[in-house]
A and B are shown apart, each in its own frame.
Chain A
Amino acid sequence: MTLQLTDEERGMLAGEQGRATKKSMEILVALGEIYGARRLIPVRSVQVAGVSYDNLGQAGLEFLEEMAADGRVRVLTTLNPAGMDIESWRELGIDETFAERQRRVIEAFARMGVIPTCTCTPYLSGNLPRFGQHIAWSESSAVCFANSVIGARTNREGGPSALAAAIAGRTPGHGLHLERARVAEVTVQVEARLVDETDFGALGFVLGQALGARVPYLTGLDPDVSLDALKALSASVATYGGAALFHVEGVTPERPAPPAERLVVTRAELDRARDGLSDEVAPDEVDFVSIGCPHASLDELARIAGLLRGKRVLRETWIHLARPLRDVAERAGYVRAIEASGARLACDTCMVVAPLRGRFRALATSSAKCVYYSRGKNNLRVLLRSIEDCLALATTAPAGAER
């Protein structure tokens, strides 16, 4: 055994600080040994995924309630989206039984001191680590954003290992916590001007296919690239390749040496990837439009409000966001513009984790990550389109539809 524990940690593992701490330490020590960690490192911030009852099931709920008996988090810990809007779930067509169980999941987390932010963008809702800080996050898009854009350090945790880190206040020090795993492995020269979020989604797909989980060093991107574009890239890279870190020349804060191995990405490849992220769907077939994967930012909400102001949506349209941002968006007048159009602002949840199977046939979305889960989990046919194109579709009546 190479993992060295402090006296306090040995006591925690032996059960001196309660059952949940003991269970948490068992998880962290086992993972530390599997991956060759030398010690546990204190963390300052945790993001816990595995919240939707649709994914957890009764067993997950039972586990969480058991942990909540005496488990309390030691550090700032926030929560991933749930399977429904905690307040307006009826409007989203969620049934009573599901809602009751989902509420129990949230309550178990809350008893442990986990703040039920219910968002996949913790960095937009009060859980913002600093450069170089060790954190333990699950939610693959947020992990990739935190490592790449912020320069914080986290492995790609699962729900239980992140919760264990929160309760123990520690995580095994291996992988991306160590300098050597953070170096770039392949220089990727992007020979295209990336226009909207679908381009960044397509780039994530190309990187995932070509590199798997290897760390890219991207050149050729506009140094003025938006955070929203990097949010889209983070989600797509993590979905299609499993990488938890990328570097962008002149943009991201870690400045590794550009690797000798090179890959060139052309406009044609991006277009091919983007086409592959859509199915054969006639625009008239689209009965569901969904934006906000990862959850929409204030900039995106401003864009969406601008596009919907004075219009009516004629197909079911959901915009996903964190509840705290909804409050701010309300002050800015975005909420009124969006809701007056008939589009729904669905807080606390998203189309990836909500129980949607069988409710819709064809989806238009601006998110490459959402494409993957909509196809695999919810059995939908999809169109990947920019926010502008998605909302143009939403406000156009399908041919032959009743007005």
Chain B
Amino acid sequence: MSGARLTGRRIHGGRARGAALVSSAALSFFGGVDPESGVVTEKDHPLEGRSVAGRVLVFPHGKGSTVGSYAIYRLARRGRGPAAIVNAECETIVAVGAIIADIPCVDHVDIGQLPDGALLEVDADRGIVEVVDR
């Protein structure tokens, strides 16, 4: 069953398809995600123990050190980065990370409409996030 088709803002272009990994909490890529495996390591984080690799990663916004941009790049270079990033409100750390890692990224999306595990299609050039199958 297909669902919502949301339009937001392009942060970095490209297209990707993948299962949603949804967090209600902000995410820090420096110190909060294991740079080799892509598994979230921040204690008591809603995604603790789950891997961002290959997923359409949905979270409100980034937090923490600006070194986090390099951490996103490092994940992508290891093939452990997210397929796409969808934010409510993108900020410097995630935006710069997505650009240098070449990961499609969209923000200004009502992320509450995106269920964890749903198959999402992201057309970041047009700022569109579509629920293909939930």
Q: Which residues of A contact B (CB under 8 A)?
A: 23, 26-27, 30-31, 33-34, 49-50, 55-60, 62-63, 138, 158-161
Q: Are B96 and A31 in contact (CB under 8 A)?
A: yes
Complex CA gap A62/B70 in Å reads 9
Q: Are A30 and B70 in contact (CB under 8 A)?
A: no
Cβ of B74 under 8 Å from chain A: yes
Residues of B within 8 A of A26 (CB): 12, 99
Which residue of chain B is the closest to A140 with respect to CB atoms?
A: B66
Contact of A158 among B12, B77, B96, B107 (CB under 8 A): B96
Which residue of chain A is the closest to B75 with respect to CB atoms?
A: A59
Residues of A within 8 A of B59 (CB): none
Contact of A58 among B65, B74, B99, B100 (CB under 8 A): B74
Complex CA gap A33/B9 in Å reads 10
Residues of A within 8 A of B30 (CB): 55
Q: Are B71 and A59 in contact (CB under 8 A)?
A: yes
Q: Are A60 and B99 in contact (CB under 8 A)?
A: no
Contact of B100 among A27, A31, A49, A56 (CB under 8 A): A27
- 1/0 contact trace for B73-112 toward A, CB 8 Å? 1110100000000000011110110011000000100000
Q: Are A34 and B67 in contact (CB under 8 A)?
A: no
Cβ of B11 under 8 Å from chain A: yes
Complex CA gap A60/B65 in Å reads 14
Q: Are B74 and A31 in contact (CB under 8 A)?
A: no
Residues of A within 8 A of B91 (CB): 34
Name which of A34, A62, A63 has the most chain B CB atoms within 10 A of its CB.
A34
Q: Are A60 and B74 in contact (CB under 8 A)?
A: yes
Which residue of chain B is the closest to A62 with respect to CB atoms?
A: B77
Q: Are A59 and B77 in contact (CB under 8 A)?
A: yes
Sample of 27 A–B contacts (CB below 8 Å): A23-B99, A23-B100, A26-B99, A27-B96, A27-B99, A30-B12, A34-B11, A34-B90, A34-B91, A34-B95, A50-B66, A56-B67, A56-B70, A57-B70, A57-B71, A57-B74, A59-B35, A59-B73, A63-B70, A63-B73, A63-B100, A138-B66, A158-B66, A158-B96, A159-B67, A159-B70, A160-B66
Residues of B within 8 A of A31 (CB): 92, 95-96
Name which of A50, A62, A160 has the most chain B CB atoms within 10 A of its CB.
A160
Cβ of B23 under 8 Å from chain A: no
Which residue of chain A is the closest to B74 with respect to CB atoms?
A: A59
**Cβ of A35 to closest chain B Cβ, rounded Å:** 9
Contact of A160 among B11, B69, B74, B107 (CB under 8 A): B69
> With A26-B99, A30-B11, A57-B35 in contact, is A161–B92 under 8 Å at CB?
yes
Residues of B within 8 A of A58 (CB): 74
Name which of A30, A56, A58, A161 has the most chain B CB atoms within 10 A of its CB.
A30
Complex CA gap A158/B73 in Å reads 15
**Cβ of B53 to closest chain A Cβ, rounded Å:** 15
Q: Are B90 and A160 in contact (CB under 8 A)?
A: no
Complex CA gap A57/B72 in Å reads 12
Complex CA gap A50/B96 in Å reads 14
Name which of B30, B70, B90, B92 has the most chain A CB atoms within 10 A of its CB.
B70
Name which of B9, B71, B75, B95 has the most chain A CB atoms within 10 A of its CB.
B95
> With A23-B99, A34-B90, A34-B95 in contact, is A159–B66 under 8 Å at CB?
yes
Q: Are A158 and B95 in contact (CB under 8 A)?
A: no
**Cβ of B121 to closest chain A Cβ, rounded Å:** 22
Residues of A within 8 A of B12 (CB): 26, 30
Complex CA gap A49/B12 in Å reads 23
Identify 9 new A-B residue pairs, CB closer than 8 A, beyond the known A27-B95, A159-B66: A26-B99, A27-B96, A30-B95, A30-B99, A31-B96, A56-B70, A63-B70, A158-B93, A160-B96
Residues of B within 8 A of A49 (CB): 66
Q: Are B100 and A160 in contact (CB under 8 A)?
A: yes
Residues of A within 8 A of B93 (CB): 158
Complex CA gap A159/B71 in Å reads 13
Residues of B within 8 A of A33 (CB): 9
Residues of A within 8 A of B9 (CB): 33
**Cβ of B42 to closest chain A Cβ, rounded Å:** 14
Residues of A within 8 A of B73 (CB): 59-60, 62-63
Complex CA gap A62/B101 in Å reads 11
For the complex of A and B, the 10 pairs showing the least CB-CB separation, nearest first, are A59-B74, A158-B66, A60-B70, A160-B96, A55-B67, A30-B95, A26-B99, A59-B73, A59-B70, A160-B69
Residues of A within 8 A of B77 (CB): 59, 62
Complex CA gap A212/B65 in Å reads 17
Contact of B96 among A59, A60, A161 (CB under 8 A): A161
Complex CA gap A58/B100 in Å reads 15
Complex CA gap A33/B99 in Å reads 14
Residues of B within 8 A of A138 (CB): 66
